[in-house]
A and B are shown apart, each in its own frame.
Chain A
Amino acid sequence: MAEAGLRYRKERLDRGIKARSDTIYVISSYREMLYLVLPRVLPVIGLLVLPLVLRGYWGKVLVYACMFGLLALSWDFLAACGMFSLGQALFFGVGSFFAGALNHYLHWPPILTLPIATLAGGVFCAALLAPVVRLKGIYFAMITLVVPLLFTRLVVATGVWGGSHGLSNLAPFTNEWIPIYLAVVAMLVVLFGFRRIMNEDYGLVLGAIRDDDRAVMSAGINIYWRKIQALFIAAVVGCFAGAFMTHQYQFVGPSVFALDYSILPLTAAALGGAGTFAGAVLGSIALVPLSEAMRALGGLRITFYCIVLIICIIGLPEGIFHFIQRKYQQFERLTEIG
């Protein structure tokens, strides 16, 4: 049997149940229906139950994870439209300052500042980046990286909106259940909303712009206007996260434009698996608590955090979500090479 020169290779095949649940015939059996429904419903139920279990400190960590999830989703959406952003902090910071300023100077409650900061921030960011939608790849990335850093210096140097001291004593959320459920539900809505958008014809065009913008132009579609729309959608999500955290911390300062808010969402999306949105959420839910749990390590926290990241990215370059999805849908076996 084990002759010299006989070798094996790994073969991947779709599971039978996957093939059966690809078509409308999925409704013929409960098993197939559960196969499709459970991976979507279980995480949702899990996330909705989690706030009941996690109280106090870890509850706040969950909120924080959801906010990073929103930023990672916003990054992933831009990436899906061909805009590689290194500046999620811009969205986060603009949303934060809109909410902070409205609350501090006009004393508007969070129920008003949240939606207004979200929408106004979205319009502001889209308008700000509109002139650079013609740039592609690394050039677009460089601009988005620099703009939030510019805002940091602008706030510190001119002293507007509290300058380097920031605006403190902002209105908190009145009830402890509101922020935690608002965060979880917002993340889930954005997750499923983005997946829906990309499956519609609208998202088809956005994805096509990423693949070949000239072909889309020759189809009579104004790609720059579409990109600005995509920027607005992504900015709205980022600004909501910023406005939310302003009221959660009851503080806003120039640190909201920090590099962390640009790089960590990107890392979360890369670790979770870019291009799926679910990966962005998974990555944030894995990374943020990990980072918190490592606080016990003191000064070496970031070192260990980076080591974990490096191991994950080398060992699992496709991302957690793609890995799980593949294991769920396919099995592997060894076949002889004849």
Chain B
Amino acid sequence: MKTEPILRVEKIGKHFGGVQAVLGVSFELRQGEFLGVIGPNGSGKTTLVNLITGFVKPDSGKVIYRGKDITGKMPYTIAGLGIARTFQMVRLFYNLPAFKNIIIPLCSPRVKKLRGGQYGERDETAVDLLDDMGFERDSFVPYKLAGSLPHGYLKRLDLTRALALRPELLILDEIFSGMSMSEVASTLPLIEKFNREGLSIIMIEHRLKELFRVADRVMVLDFGQKIADGSPQEVMNTEEVKKAYLGSEVEIS
């Protein structure tokens, strides 16, 4: 039995001035699938995320989420439907304590609806969520100003904030950039765990080794176009991918 895809992107395109950032990209994401997106710098990965989450309006094409057309909807509407994202450059409230950052999504109508019409004790929920993500409740970490935390913690705080929305689709935009090896090693299992529990994930990443280990499927973008799509092994052996990443062999010789 084929399940209806949770997300279907149809020939989506966007240009900024003369630059064609994304050009006719189409793909589908099955319920519970873990899709990796790779591509050289400037290949349109982040623009693709912005197009799906409504931060950038597409010039052409459609985004269908659970059979519903969400193309060009406001970012908060799309987030309210259950598509949460993290930002490549973390967007946090640095002058608030870490756990207060998590209160913001807990104030959203979506969380209220999922909790049966009431918000409950938000401070407690926030600290619980952070505790699950390795911010131990008995340490000082959840109560410190976000601005005073190291970069790896900020990335994980951004992830926690996305998860606080109780998403059905999570889009991670280079979550591992700037993290140390040990921070990656402790965060990756968490992401895998959420995927096993049924969360669909799109992950944009430059660390190919980690990505290829966890992703079910990998899509490759280059100059705004999809050049490969398949299992990690297939993608790695594609000629075009090697070219895009390493330059063509003809040029080298």
Contacts and interface: CB of A to CB of B under 8 A. Distances in A.
Contacts of A216: 76, 104
Contact of A214 (B91, B100, B161, B164): B91
B39 interface: no
A214 B77 CA distance: 13
Given A201-B122, A214-B55, A214-B75, A221 B104 contact: yes
A5 B106 CA distance: 55
Interface in B122-145: 122
B53 interface: yes
A219 B82 CA distance: 10
A221 B77 CA distance: 8
Interface residues of B, number: 32
A211 interface: yes
A222 interface: yes
B207 to A, nearest CB: 23
A201 B85 contact: no
Interface in A197-225: 201-202, 204-205, 207-208, 211-212, 214-223
B76 A211 contact: no
A219 B104 contact: yes
Interface string B51-85: 00101000000000000000000111101100011
Interface stretch (B20-28, B107-115, B179-187): B107-115
A197 to B, nearest CB: 14
Contact of A217 (B75, B100, B110): B75
A219 B74 contact: no
A221 B78 CA distance: 10
Given A211-B95, A212-B93, A218 B75 contact: yes
A204 B122 CA distance: 12
A204 B107 contact: yes
Interface size class of chain A, counting residues whose CB lies under 8 Å from the partner chain: 10 to 19
Interface in A109-138: none
A205 B85 CA distance: 18
A9 B202 CA distance: 52
A204 B111 CA distance: 16
A204 B96 contact: yes
Given A204-B96, A215-B93, A220 B103 contact: no
Given A201-B122, A205-B107, A208-B104, A218 B92 contact: no
Interface in B192-229: none
A206 to B, nearest CB: 10
Contacts of A215: 87, 91-93, 104, 161
Given A204-B100, A211-B93, A212-B93, A218 B107 contact: no
B105 interface: yes
Contacts, number: 78
Secondary structure at the B interface, as helix, strand, loop or mixed, is helix
Contacts of A212: 91-93
B74 A222 contact: yes
A201 B103 contact: yes
Contacts of B91: 212, 214-215, 218
A220 B79 contact: yes
Nearest to B75: A217
Given A204-B103, A204-B107, A205-B104, A217 B76 contact: yes
B76 A220 contact: yes
Most chain A CB atoms below 10 A, which of B87, B93, B109: B93
A207 B97 CA distance: 13
Contact of B93 (A202, A208, A220): A208
A219 B161 contact: yes
B242 to A, nearest CB: 35
A260 B111 CA distance: 44
A221 B55 contact: no
A9 to B, nearest CB: 22
B194 to A, nearest CB: 18
A217 B93 contact: no
B48 interface: no
B165 interface: yes
Contacts of B92: 212, 215
B85 A218 contact: yes
Contacts of B74: 217, 222
Most chain B CB atoms below 10 A, which of A201, A212, A217, A219: A219
Contacts of B105: 219-221
A205 B96 CA distance: 11
A223 B76 contact: yes
Contact of B165 (A201, A202, A220, A222): A220
A222 B106 CA distance: 13
A329 to B, nearest CB: 17
B48 to A, nearest CB: 16
A221 B95 CA distance: 20
Interface string A174-201: 0000000000000000000000000001
A223 B105 CA distance: 12
15 contacts: A201-B107, A201-B122, A204-B100, A208-B96, A212-B93, A215-B92, A218-B53, A218-B55, A219-B79, A219-B107, A219-B108, A220-B84, A221-B108, A222-B76, A223-B76
Interface of B: 53, 55, 74-77, 79-80, 84-85, 87, 91-96, 100, 103-111, 122, 161-162, 164-165
Nearest 9 interchain pairs by C-beta: A220-B79, A220-B108, A219-B105, A215-B91, A217-B75, A220-B80, A217-B76, A220-B110, A219-B104
